Chains A and B, each alone.
Chain A
């Protein structure tokens, strides 16, 4: 089928072009991370600049030398991982309970809660940074894990709640009734029937919250002052080069590559679990 193969090749070329365009910044950063400080700006043509002349891994090595106390990167990396995981876990649990109530029950103030959540999500985070800085210093939360986790929860919960409400609404109510008649307490029905069916929604919300916490720069830079709780995006801003006049471009690029990897793993892992149509066959029609 000539027409078929021609269409196929044209589509492939088109997709490759788009992919290249989209991935270019990332590939460029990978290439930067593999260059020595001296060769960062070398090269005249695009390809000379894109492909490193001497590939070196010393940028990566220097990030990890010195162990936790000396290395500029290990402590922030651990902070990022822990804070993102803790914030995601708490957010998912709270959002699941809230979304279940909103999807299933009719209680006074329900509309206000939803509107309030939406309003919070639309609120510009930057306008909260000043007051938070003051409040946290007074409360002793400055430069601590909770100091970052709380604002992360505030701004990611609305999104998580809305995602989960949409998923919970898709689950037929009769399934919980069947579970209740079968002998389950409401909590058992929730845990054994609803949550497995809402798994796609739970993982979607988890991915969204994790990415938000992991990539956040604003709160990290404003509410931390030391490696006690500084996360990677903020730590990158404090990298120092060989001398006062050189930018540690290679190091920053290497750190960026390392920081992107967990996200990719996280999303790939959970993406497999987002299987739509999980509730097919439960009820008729």
Chain B
């Protein structure tokens, strides 16, 4: 069995900085687990601790049934694919892939047959005798994966392997990685900062922030029931829209209108909350159809309309004072939005392509408020998620 169990894993540096704090994660055998989060959240550090390239300050790491805290990387029987491939430049592709097998003392004929298999699976046969310097990015990526696969290890650890590829190649390699993993059935831990990769590749996704695990679950769980403001704003593209909400009596008043207070938020008296609505919960009021009663209609001046062909994105402001919270500032910083003025209270709505809403015009929009998420402004905790 090659499940990976992390119990209370902490990484503390000598100056007191904690890159990973009290991290608990159970990765099942054969599972494709994704660690996702903004830069500096500790995901690469966590991965390197599993690999043995970083020491674990506190906590217990098990691979299978064995506690491996003190075990050297070479004894853990795991394979790693690095962000910058880390291919041995003085060796040919064949020698690169053969390297781990040679170190393990495998005999030459087995090495040759294994290399043949891997080269076939990854389409590297024409390149076996070339040096890494002569390969393209995608080819080098595949050699790095070949080197990992050929060992038939207990687990694959991948540290942002696709982030150095151009966009189109990235999409292509994403499906390759997914296909390989399901064929081989090896436990895989995959680190990325791209939430699209996380959502499309993972069996389960663990969202990290500042060294702490925010939430772990299937992509659907994270999308529909985010545990806190950070996860809600991180997962999903375009991101969830946040707006201030005020509970007065039994009504929740939002910039888009007033709605009844959801059950989960009752009983707190009058208070300010942060409300979240995903772009797809909006629609052009003219096209809203029979679901009208589920939500509220409002009008807003549309700042920008982006037509994607299959849908339209409309950007508008609600004239509210915007929402301020630590988590949202961090998300904005990570996305590079902190310098953009007016980004605070801008809302993006995904509309049907047939919508005729124009830029600069006053538009009637409808939003499905049954899909509302509510968050406590102090702690960021979700009130509406189960």
Interface residues of A (CB under 8 A from B): 172, 174-175, 177-185, 188, 192-193, 196-197, 278-285
Q: Mark B63-90, 1 if CB is under 8 A from A, else 0.
A: 0000000001110001110111111111
**Hey, which chain B residues are within 8 Å of A283, CB to CB?**
82, 84-87
**Hey, which chain A residues are within 8 Å of B131, CB to CB?**
281
**Hey, which chain B residues are within 8 Å of A188, CB to CB?**
103
Interface centre among B72, B74, B133 (most CB of A within 10 A): B74
Question: 12 A–B contact pairs at CB < 8 A?
Answer: A177-B82, A179-B88, A180-B72, A180-B74, A182-B74, A193-B88, A197-B89, A280-B133, A281-B132, A282-B86, A282-B133, A283-B86
**Hey, which chain B residues are within 8 Å of A280, CB to CB?**
89, 133
* Contact (Cβ within 8 A) A285 B164: yes
* Contact (Cβ within 8 A) A281 B134: yes
**Hey, which chain A residues are within 8 Å of B104, CB to CB?**
183
* Contact (Cβ within 8 A) B85 A284: yes
* Contact (Cβ within 8 A) A174 B74: no
* Contact (Cβ within 8 A) B90 A181: no
* Contact (Cβ within 8 A) A174 B82: yes
* Contact (Cβ within 8 A) B72 A197: no
- Nearest Cβ distance between residue B87 and chain A, in whole angstroms? 6
- Nearest Cβ distance between residue A107 and chain B, in whole angstroms? 13
Q: How far is the CA of A179 from the CA of B73 in the complex (A)?
A: 9
- Nearest Cβ distance between residue A66 and chain B, in whole angstroms? 49
Q: With A281-B131, A284-B137 as given contacts, are A178 and B82 in contact (CB-CB < 8 Å)?
A: yes
* Contact (Cβ within 8 A) B53 A177: yes
Chain B: residues with Cβ within 8 Å of the partner, total of 33
**Hey, which chain B residues are within 8 Å of A284, CB to CB?**
83-85, 137, 140, 164
Q: Does B100 sit within 8 A of A, measured CB to CB?
A: yes
* Contact (Cβ within 8 A) B86 A175: yes
* Contact (Cβ within 8 A) A181 B84: no
**Hey, which chain A residues are within 8 Å of B132, CB to CB?**
281-282
- Nearest Cβ distance between residue B136 and chain A, in whole angstroms? 11
* Contact (Cβ within 8 A) A181 B164: no
Instruction: Give 7 nearest A-B pairs by CB, closest first.
Output: A281-B133, A282-B89, A281-B132, A182-B100, A178-B86, A283-B84, A174-B86
Q: With A178-B86, A283-B85 as given contacts, are A185 and B74 in contact (CB-CB < 8 Å)?
A: yes
Q: With A281-B140, A284-B137 as given contacts, are A181 and B79 in contact (CB-CB < 8 Å)?
A: yes
Q: With A181-B53, A182-B99, A182-B100 as given contacts, are A282 and B88 in contact (CB-CB < 8 Å)?
A: yes
* Contact (Cβ within 8 A) B86 A197: no
Chain A residue nearest to B134 (CB atoms) is: A281
* Contact (Cβ within 8 A) A174 B84: yes
**Hey, which chain A residues are within 8 Å of B137, CB to CB?**
284
Q: How far is the CA of A188 from the CA of B137 in the complex (A)?
A: 28
* Contact (Cβ within 8 A) A281 B74: no
Q: How far is the CA of A188 from the CA of B103 in the complex (A)?
A: 9
* Contact (Cβ within 8 A) B53 A278: no
Given contacts A175-B88, A180-B72, A282-B87, 8 further A-B contacts (CB under 8 A): A174-B84, A181-B157, A183-B103, A278-B90, A280-B133, A281-B132, A281-B135, A282-B133
Q: Mark B321-338, 1 if CB is under 8 A from A, else 0.
A: 000000000000000000
Q: Mark B98-118, 1 if CB is under 8 A from A, else 0.
A: 011001100000000000000
Q: Mark B122-142, 1 if CB is under 8 A from A, else 0.
A: 000000000111110100100
